[in-house]
Amino acid sequence: MRLVARAVLPVVVGLFVAFIVAGTSVHGPLLTVVGVVVALAHGAALWWRRTHPVLVMGVALVGGLVVQLVAPSAVFPYAGLVAVWALAAARPPWISLPGLGLLLGLGSVNFLTTSVDDTMFVMAVSILPWALGEVVRNRRVAVEQGARRAVSEEQARIARELHDVIAHSLTVMVVQAAAADDVFDLRPDRAREALRSIDATGRATLDELRRLLAEVRPDVHGLGRLDELVAPLRAAGLRVEVRRDGDLRVPAGVDLSAYRIVQEALTNTLRHARASWAEVVVRNDSGVLEVDVRDDGRGGVGGVGRGIAGMRERAAVLGGTVDAGPLPGGGFRVHARLPLAVAS
C-alpha cells in the first residue's frame, strides 16, 4: 500500500503532462511522440524525488523544457513543482534555491508563448512548493535539535543528581574508613563504630541511587511512551507506524534499552536517511523482545557513526544483538533481539 501511494504522484503527473503534449503539440507527429515520451519519463523520475532530489530536479527541469518547446500551452512545469518541493524538503537553501531559480527560468519561457500576466502567475506559483518544502525541512531540523537538547539536558540532570547523591556519601565513607584503620588495633570499639557508619552511609546511598534510577527508567522512558516518542517526528512530516505484539511488560533494563534503540534508529532515519515513512514493530517472541525499525530512506546512511555502535552496546549488556543494514528493495532496517530471561 505504501509503494502504491508513493507511485501515484509520478504516474498522475507523467500521464497528465503526456496528455497535454499529445493534445496541444504544435509540431509534427515525430516531435509530439518525443514530447510524450519525455513527459512520461520526467514524471516517472519523481519516484526517486525523496532519495535523489537533486538528480530528479535536474531531470524535471530538462523534461519540462522539452515539454514547453513541443507544447507551449502546457504553461505549468508540473513535474518541476513537485521536484522543487522535494528538493527544499531534503536539502538546505543553498542547494534548493538554485533549483528554484532554474525552475523560475523555465517558467519564464512562457513569456515567448503566452501573456505576461499568465507567465508571472506561473512563476509566482513556482515559489509556493519551494516554501512548503522549506517549512517541512525546518520542522525536521527543529525536531532534531530539540531531541539533542533533551538528551543534553537529561545528561546534565543525571550528572547533577549523581554528584549530589554520591559525592558527599563517598567522602564520608572514605574518611570513616581511614579513621577505622587508624584506631583498629588500639580502639576496636571506635573502629566498629566507624564501620557501622560506613554501612549506614552505604545503604542510604544505595537507596538514593535506586530512587534516581527509578526516575530515568521506565516511568519516564519505556515502550509505553513510544507514541509520545514518535509524535514530534510525525509533526515533522515523517509517517511513523507503531505496532505492538505480545506481552510487553518486560524487565526495566530491557524496557529502557528497547526504547533507546527505537529512539536512536528513528533519529538516524530523520537525520540521515531522508525517509518519508518508518515502521516500528515491538514483539515478545517466546521470551525474547524483538525490536524492528524500518524506513524507506537511503539505505546504508543510517548505520554510519556512533548510533549503531551504541545500540549494539546496549543490547550486548543484556546478552542481546542488534543487526543493522540496508534493505534489498531500498531503505534501512535496525533489528534488535533482547533476551528477557537474562535481564530478569
> How many C-beta atoms surround the C-beta of residue 11 within 10 A?
15
* CA pair distance 42, 58, nearest whole angstrom: 10
Q: Which residue from 10, 116, 20 is spatially nearest to 68, judged by alpha carbons? A: 20
* CA pair distance 321, 339, nearest whole angstrom: 9
Q: What average pLDDT does this structure show over 158-174? A: 69
Within 8 A by CB and 6+ apart from 47, the residues are 6, 7, 10
pTM score: 0.56
pLDDT tens per residue, range 132-152: 999 988 888 887 777 777 767
Q: How many residues does the chain have?
A: 344
70 or 28, higher pLDDT: 70
Contact 280, 303 (CB under 8 A): no
* CA pair distance 298, 261, nearest whole angstrom: 19
Q: Measure the CA angle with vertex 313, ends 312 and 318; round to 5°.
A: 95
Which grid cell is 275?
525517509
Alpha carbon 268 to chain centroid, angstroms: 5
The pLDDT of residue 256 is 85
Q: Which class is domain 224-344?
A: alpha beta
pLDDT tens per residue, range 262-312: 988 888 887 766 778 899 999 998 889 999 999 987 654 444 456 788 888
> How many C-beta atoms surround the C-beta of residue 64 within 10 A?
27
Q: Where in the chain is the domain with CATH 3.30.565.10?
A: 224-344
